[in-house]
Structure 1
Amino acid sequence: MTTTDSGKNWLTPLLASWRAQRAWILEQQIAIARVAAPTGNESERAALLQQDWRNCGHHVTSDGAGNVIARVDPTATPHRTDGRPLVCLAHLDTVFDAAEPLAVRQDGTRTYCPGIGDNGRGLAAMSVLARILRQPDVRARLQRPIELVLTVGEEGEGNLRGATQWFDDASARGAMPVAAVAIDGPGDRTIVHHAVGSRRWRIAFTGVGGHSWANATTPNPVHAAGACIAAIARLADASRPYGVIAVTRMHGGEHLTGVPTHAWIDVDLRSLDPERLRTMAGEVERIVRRAALDASQHTPAQALRYTITTLGDRPAGMIDEQHPLVIAAAAATRAVGRVPQSASASTDANVPLSRGIPAIAIGAGGSGSAAHTANEWYDDTDSDIGIERLLRLIVALGTAERLSG
């Protein structure tokens, strides 16, 4: 990466001013977390942040998926860039449905609320970026446009819908970004540059059903689902550490004294290796076929039927630890006194990485745990370190003449 301003002394007072804004950033984070944003129903939270960005002076748009988008253009003519933007993404949605209470409870430096870290913290950091990038000192030094994108549908069954839409649209315009940074949750050390690919399936068995005594030999969908679960559990044990398989939900049957007419299970398959993911998926399909056949062996005329429905399909991808984007993130991490740690995860960065676009995901300061549960908490101790790391990284990427080696 080639920079245009090696000293960066002009950045020091700007960073110092935001270190003093920790309390304000946490207030924004709490306000965001209090607004429900179930996957597929993020509009209220999107409207809140859209208005905030407009109040900062940004021209804000949305796309067909419901993503919120603001573009920051350099005020000076770049010298040697090709005009491709840097894109920063943070997801709007949470795993919680609209009925989940979003009560905030504070205990010392910890704040408890579903979604407070994932991704309340990332969204609050985007509010900081929206303000920093309006500063004349920053815009005058930018060598490329920066697009800020709040994405819908990142979690679970959202299947990275918002990020996919944005990159599809950028491709159609011939304006693919030079690099992408996803801002997701707390943290100030990890750099996610390995994207975990996944397939999420609903496997359903159906039959004719009947009375549990009179029709005892009728093929039983719940039995088939149980056999399937047991075989998948054995496959999961054999697949680690290079692949992970989990049965995550199950349902079946109509009443206590009847052979069920239906049963289904949800399965989550994950791996960093696309080929291994395909292999595991093939093994699960064979397990499903065998479970249906075995459950139907006594009454083949009433053989069970099965379906496999895709609930999610996330692509894998990676960039090397020596890629200039990872090196820049590591430099920003060391600059704030932290030791960088490579990591793997499933985030909005999966989409660009799978398309050959350099991308990483990083946290936005502070710490937390119990994400995706009602007991999620966030600790604001030293959170300014993560915010400074993020700002240093985005400014360095935005002001560099070249992002390649």
Structure 2
Amino acid sequence: MSPTSLPQTIIDVRSSEEFNGYHIPGAMNIPVEQIKERFNDFKAMNSPILVYCKSGMRSRVAKILLKQGKIEDVIDGGGIGAITSGGTGSHRYRVTFKGPGGHSYGAFGLVNPHNATARAIHYFILEADKFTREGAKTTYNVGVTGGGTSVNAIPFESWMEVDMRSESPERLTGIDTLFQQAIRKALTEENAMKRRGKDLTVDVKMVGDRPTGVQSPTLPLVQRSMASAMLLGATPSLNMSSTDSNLPISKGVPAVTIGRGGVGGGAHSLDEWWVNDKGHIAIQNTLLILVAEAGLAK
């Protein structure tokens, strides 16, 4: 049984860029942000309407919006159907600018590590924004910053942790290069501004390196994962993400990352939540794939 044999209209509510990268055969693309303005289009569709996304979050939002628009016969295809079969590469860095530190008034004129961190972020974001507006999906994020001891003290160090991802190894290398250039520029400018004391130094440490990986959707493991999801009532959709599957996939070893089950939302935010709604199905899915891979079903 293939996804195209499902008896309903299938709507992919991800972005057009994600849809163009991969989608269920026969699916239409209507990003979740456009649902309200396209209620009439939905009302003209054959029902039931199945909506799906990458992780299940956008599909849940889509179903809620459609219900608000009096479109009742809607199926949320999120959940265990999301199968990560490709690896989005990622580079992660911890960058630490270091100086002598001192009193904010008495030692004024010394290099300030915070100034350099702020400059580096500014220069990086300006170039990264332009770089990521075209080509394969590439992202960047300054996730954590720190340093300093007191409001009246020039910090002796300032650090940040940065994450960059891309489905293309070339694009990942490209945005990494922009990041390194921004750091060097910030260091040079802060040292040029000092009025006394020693130069600022910087330590750039890579703390994460996940290689990009692509594998054929026709691999037995991928096909069995899709078949298992369908048997358990889900609509399988293949996607790329940055997971522990990256390394084996990059080395030619078949691997997938499968859905966690249950219902959740707000990933990595203060409002993140998860409810164990039929979470046991994810365990069944895992065991079924394992049994199929082991050949015990024969």
Residue matched to 2:166: 271
**Which of residues 217, 237, 250 is equivalent to 2:109?**
217
**Inter-partner Cα distance in structure 1 for 2:235 and 2:297:** 26
Residue matched to 1:337: 233
Q: Are the equivalent residues in 2 in contact too, given 1:243–1:271 (CA < 8 A)?
A: yes
Residues 193-247 of structure 1, C-alpha deviation per residue, up to 9 Å, x if partnerless? Answer: 1112222211111123344345433221111111112222223423436211111
Q: Are the equivalent residues in 2 in contact too, given 1:204–1:262 (CA < 8 A)?
A: yes
Q: 1:189 to 1:228 in 2, by over 3 A?
A: same
Q: Are the equivalent residues in 1 in contact too, given 2:128–2:175 (CA < 8 A)?
A: no
Residue matched to 1:307: 203
1:267 partner SS: strand
**Which of residues 349, 353, 367 is equivalent to 2:249?**
353
1:319 partner SS: coil
Give, in angstroms, the shift of residue 297 of structure 1.
Answer: 1.0
Give, in angstroms, the shift of residue 250 of structure 1.
Answer: 1.1
Q: Does 1:198 align with 2:90?
A: yes
**Inter-partner Cα distance in structure 2 for 1:299 and 1:375:** 43
**Inter-partner Cα distance in structure 2 for 1:237 and 1:374:** 25
Q: Are the equivalent residues in 2 in contact too, given 1:293–1:303 (CA < 8 A)?
A: no
Give, in angstroms, the shift of residue 384 of structure 1.
Answer: 4.6
Residue matched to 1:229: 121
**Inter-partner Cα distance in structure 2 for 1:328 and 1:239:** 38
Give, in angstroms, the shift of residue 275 of structure 1.
Answer: 2.3
Equivalent residue pairs, number: 217
**Which of residues 196, 215, 228 is equivalent to 1:319?**
215
Residue matched to 2:130: 238
2:184 partner SS: helix
Give, in angstroms, the shift of residue 397 of structure 1.
Answer: 1.8
Q: Are the equivalent residues in 2 in contact too, given 1:316–1:354 (CA < 8 A)?
A: yes
Identity %: 31
**Inter-partner Cα distance in structure 2 for 1:263 and 1:290:** 16
Structure-to-structure mapping, 1:29-48, within 5 angstroms: none
Q: Are the equivalent residues in 1 in contact too, given 2:121–2:182 (CA < 8 A)?
A: no
Query: Where does the alignment leave 5 or more consecutive residues of structure 2 unmatched?
Result: 1-77
Q: Does 1:257 align with 2:152?
A: yes
Give, in angstroms, the shift of residue 334 of structure 1.
Answer: 1.9
**Inter-partner Cα distance in structure 2 for 1:368 and 1:230:** 34
Q: Are the equivalent residues in 1 in contact too, given 2:128–2:178 (CA < 8 A)?
A: no
2:174 partner SS: helix
Residue matched to 1:293: 188
1:317 partner SS: coil
**Which of residues 272, 277, 282 is equivalent to 1:386?**
282
**Inter-partner Cα distance in structure 2 for 1:336 and 1:230:** 48
Q: In the alignment, residue 290 of structure 1 is paired with which amino acid?
A: K
Query: Where does the alignment leave 5 or more consecutive residues of structure 1 unmatched?
Result: 1-185
Give, in angstroms, the shift of residue 375 of structure 1.
Answer: 6.2
Q: In the alignment, residue 272 of structure 1 is paired with which amino acid?
A: E
Q: TM-score, normalised by structure 2?
A: 0.64
**Inter-partner Cα distance in structure 1 for 2:92 and 2:141:** 10
Structure-to-structure mapping, 1:36-75, within 5 angstroms: none
Q: TM-score, normalised by structure 1?
A: 0.48
**Inter-partner Cα distance in structure 1 for 2:124 and 2:224:** 41
Q: Are the equivalent residues in 2 in contact too, given 1:252–1:262 (CA < 8 A)?
A: yes
Give, in angstroms, the shift of residue 364 of structure 1.
Answer: 4.4
**Inter-partner Cα distance in structure 1 for 2:185 and 2:290:** 52
Q: Does 1:396 align with 2:292?
A: yes
RMSD over aligned CA atoms reads: 2.8
